[in-house]
Amino acid sequence: MTAKIEPDHTYDAGPTGCGELIMNLFLIMKKMRSGQVIKVISYDPGAREDIPAWCRLQNHLLLKREDEGKVSQYYIRKK
C-alpha cells in the first residue's frame, strides 16, 4: 500500500489550458519553500504531457499522477 501524500498547497487549475496552467503553477511554486508538495488538479488532457516535462525542466520532483476519467491530479515536490 502506498503512503498517502499530504500536500502543503493545492492548485485546482480546472479546464485552464497548459500555457496559463504552467504560468500559474510557476508563480505559486515560487512562493513555496524547498521540499514542500503541491497538488495540482487539471481537466486539460495536455497537462498529462506538459506538467511532467515542466517538472523535469525545473528540476521539481513529480511524485505521483492520478487519473480519474478526464481529471488528473499531480503531486509535485519543489526542489
18 is catalytic: yes
Helix and strand numbers (H, E) in the chain are: 2, 4
SS3 content of the chain, % helix, strand, coil (to 5): 35, 35, 35
User: Among residues 18, 25, 38, 40, which one is catalytic?
Assistant: 18
Catalytically active residues, by annotation: 18
